[in-house]
A and B are shown apart, each in its own frame.
Chain A
Amino acid sequence: MSRSEMVRIERHLNRRKVADFLFAMVGLLCLLFALLTLLALMYDLARTGVPRLSLDFLASFPSRFADRSGILSAWVGTLCVMAVTAVAVIPVGVAAGVYLEEYAPKNALTAIIELNIINLAAIPSITFGLMALGLFVYEFGFGQSILTAGLTLGLLVLPIVIVTTREAIRAIPNTIREAAYAVGASKWQVVQHHIVPYSAGGILTGIIISLSRAIGETAPLITIGALTFIAFLPTPPVSGDAPYVSFQWLMDPFTVMPIQMFNWVSRPQPEFHVNAAATGVILLAMTLVMNGAAIYIRYRFRKRVKW
C-alpha cells in the first residue's frame, strides 16, 4: 500500500469518527433535554405537593375549605375502579391473547382481527368514554357507577393486555410445544402446563402496565359522568348482617384521583392547587411503583426461563 493511499484511508476514517462523535453528541443532548424536562416537572410537583401530604389528607373528604380537603373518596374510588378493571381485563385479555397465538387458524380473518387490535390501542380514550356512555350507562343501565368506569377502562387497556400476552407467548420456542405434543399432550394441556406458565412473567408485566395506564385516565371517566365532588364512600363490600357480602358498591357513584386533581386545578384559589399537586405526587408514586414491579417481575422471569 502506498503512502498516499494510507493517508487517504486515514483521512476517511477520521471523517467517519467525527460523524460518529457529532451524532453521539446530538443524541445525548436530545436525551438530556427530555430527561431534564421530565425531572423538572417532577421536582416542581414534589416541591409543591409533598409538604401537603399527611394522614389527614388521605383520610378526609374534599371540602369547600382547601386546608380541610382530602382525597379519601378519590383514592378509594381509584382502588375500586382498578379492581373492576383488573377483574374484567385479565381473563378476557389473556384468553384472547392465548386464543390468537395458539388456537386461531392463521388466515385472512385472523390477520384483520390482529390489525384491528393494534388500531384499537391507538383510539383516543375519550372515544371509549362516549361508547361506554351509550352502551354501559344507557343501554345496559349500569348508570354512572364504579362498574361502568371499571369496564370502560378495561376496554381501553384490553389491547395492551392482548398484545403483551401474545408477545410473551411468541417468545416460547416451537421446540417446547413440539416436545409437549410429542408425548401426547392435548392443546389444552400444552396451554395449561407450558404456554401460560412460561409466559406468565410477560403477561403479568403487561397487566401491570395496562393498569398503570388506566389509573391516570381522566377523559373517558368524565365522559361517562364521574362526579368531581363526592363526600361519601361506596357501600362496603362486607357487613356484619346477612348476607354479609354486598356488590352494591359496584353501582355507586365515584370519583378517582386524576378527576379530583382536575377539579382542584380548575379552582382559582392557589391552596387548591397545592392539594392537586399533592394528589399528583401520590398518583405518580403509584404508577412508579407499578412500573417498578413490572420491571422487577420481567427481570425475575427472564432469569428463571432462558431459551
Chain B
Amino acid sequence: MVNTTQEAATAGGDEMRAEIRRLSFSYGDKTVVKSVSMPIYKDRITALIGPSGCGKTTLLRCFNRMHDLYNDTEYEGEIALLPENRNILSSDIDPIEVRMRISMVFQKPNPFPKSIFENVAYGLRVRGVKRRSFIEETVERALAQAGLWNEVKDRLGASALALSGGQQQRLCIARALATDPEIVLLDEPTSALDPISTAHIEELVVTLKQNVTIVIVTHNLHQAARISDYTGFMYLGELIEFGRTPGLFTKPKDARTESYITGRFG
C-alpha cells in the first residue's frame, strides 16, 4: 500500500473531481480490484497502466456502473464525485444518471448497426433532444473533435459498420463526446489505430482536458508519458503506485513499477 491520497493531494494544487476510496470489485468470488484508493483530478488526464489482466478495464468500468448489467458482481468501497461528495456506487444513485455524466469508450469499437449520424446522435436521442438543428450541430462538432468529420461528412447516412476499425473507434469517441460528459473514460482507445490517427486522438485528448476530466487506460507507456498528468500503476488488482506522470516515470518508488516501465515484465 502506498499513501496515495496524502501524497497526491499535495500534488501541484490540482482540484479533485473524484476520489476512489478503498474500492474492491469481484466477479463472483474472484476479487479483481483490491482496495484501490486514488484521486482523479479535475480537467487533468489520469493514465492507468499495468500488465494485461491486472484489472484496469474492470476498474474503469466501475466508474459508469457497467458491471451493474451483469449478475454476480460486487462493489465494495466508494467512488465519490467531488465537490458534492456523492458516491456513484451507492445503490440510491441511478446508474443511468451516472452514465449520463460519465461516458466511456470501450477497448473494442462497438458502433451500433445504424447510420454514422445516428450513432453519434444516440446519446442526445436517449435524453429526449428533438431539435434537429441542435442535433446536427452536435454531431458535426463531435465528429470533428474525433477527427472523423472530413472522412464521413459526405456519407453520414451510411452504415457505421462500413467504416474501418480505426474509423469505428473514432466514431465511438465522437459518440462519447456528443453528450458533453463531465468525465470521459477511455479504455485503450488507440490500440486499433494507425500512428496518424493515434496522434490525432492524443491531440484531441489533450485539447479536451480544458474542460473535461479524462481517465485513460493504455498499454503504450510512451503515450501515458506523453499525454497524462497523473499515472497509476496497477498490478494484480492493486494500485501499486500513483503520482504525477513525470515523477512516476523517472523516479518510481516501487520496484515493481520500475520493472514494468523499464520493460522487465508485463
Contact = CB atoms under 8 A, between A and B. Distances in A.
B113 A180 contact: no
Given A105-B71, A106-B71, A189-B126, A182 B99 contact: yes
Contacts of A177: 69
A183 B69 contact: no
B1 interface: no
A198 B110 CA distance: 14
A213 interface: no
B110 A183 contact: no
B224 to A, nearest CB: 23
Contact of A183 (B108, B111, B161, B176): B176
Contacts of B71: 105-106
A175 B108 contact: yes
Nearest to A105: B71
B66 A184 contact: no
Nearest to B99: A184
A32 interface: no
B172 interface: yes
Nearest to B122: A183
Interface string B98-124: 011001101010111100000000110
Contact of B64 (A174, A176, A182, A185): A182
Given A105-B71, A178-B69, A306-B161, A183 B112 contact: no
A179 B172 contact: yes
Contacts of A174: 69
Contact of A176 (B100, B103, B110, B126): B110
A194 B108 CA distance: 19
A175 B187 CA distance: 14
Contacts of B172: 179
A304 B64 CA distance: 31
B116 to A, nearest CB: 14
Nearest to B179: A183
Contacts of B106: 175, 178-179, 182
Interface in A153-179: 173-179
A140 interface: no
A180 B112 contact: yes
Contacts of B126: 180, 183-186, 189, 193
Interface size class of B (residues with CB under 8 A): 20 to 34
B113 A305 contact: yes
A258 to B, nearest CB: 41
A178 B110 contact: yes
Contact of A179 (B112, B125, B179): B112
Interface in B25-81: 64, 66, 69, 71
Interface string A178-213: 111111111001000110001000000000000000
Contacts of A305: 113, 161
Contacts of B264: none
Interface size class of A (residues with CB under 8 A): 20 to 34
B179 A184 contact: yes
Query: Which of A178, A179, A198: most chain B CB closer than 10 A?
Result: A179
B127 interface: yes
Query: Which of A105, A180, A184, A186: most chain B CB closer than 10 A?
Result: A184
A177 B66 CA distance: 10
Contacts of A198: 113
Given A106-B71, A175-B106, A183 B99 contact: yes
Given A178-B66, A184-B179, A194 B112 contact: yes
B66 A183 contact: no
Nearest to A185: B126
Interface string A82-124: 0000000000000000000000011000000000000000000
Given A186-B96, A186-B126, A181 B69 contact: yes
A189 B100 CA distance: 14
B17 interface: no
Contacts of B103: 182-183
B175 interface: yes
A303 to B, nearest CB: 11
A181 B172 CA distance: 13
A20 B13 CA distance: 76
Given A178-B66, A178-B106, 19 more contacts: A179-B111, A180-B112, A182-B64, A182-B66, A182-B103, A183-B103, A183-B123, A183-B126, A183-B175, A184-B96, A184-B99, A184-B123, A184-B179, A185-B126, A186-B96, A186-B126, A189-B126, A193-B122, A306-B113
Interface of B: 64, 66, 69, 71, 96, 99-100, 103-104, 106, 108, 110-113, 122-123, 125-127, 161, 172, 175-176, 179
23 contacts: A105-B71, A106-B71, A175-B108, A176-B110, A179-B106, A179-B172, A180-B122, A180-B126, A181-B69, A182-B64, A182-B103, A182-B106, A183-B122, A183-B126, A184-B96, A184-B99, A184-B100, A185-B96, A186-B126, A194-B112, A198-B113, A304-B113, A305-B161
Give 6 closest A-B pairs by Cβ, nearest first.
A184-B100, A183-B123, A175-B110, A179-B110, A185-B126, A184-B99
Interface of A: 105-106, 173-186, 189, 193-194, 198, 304-306
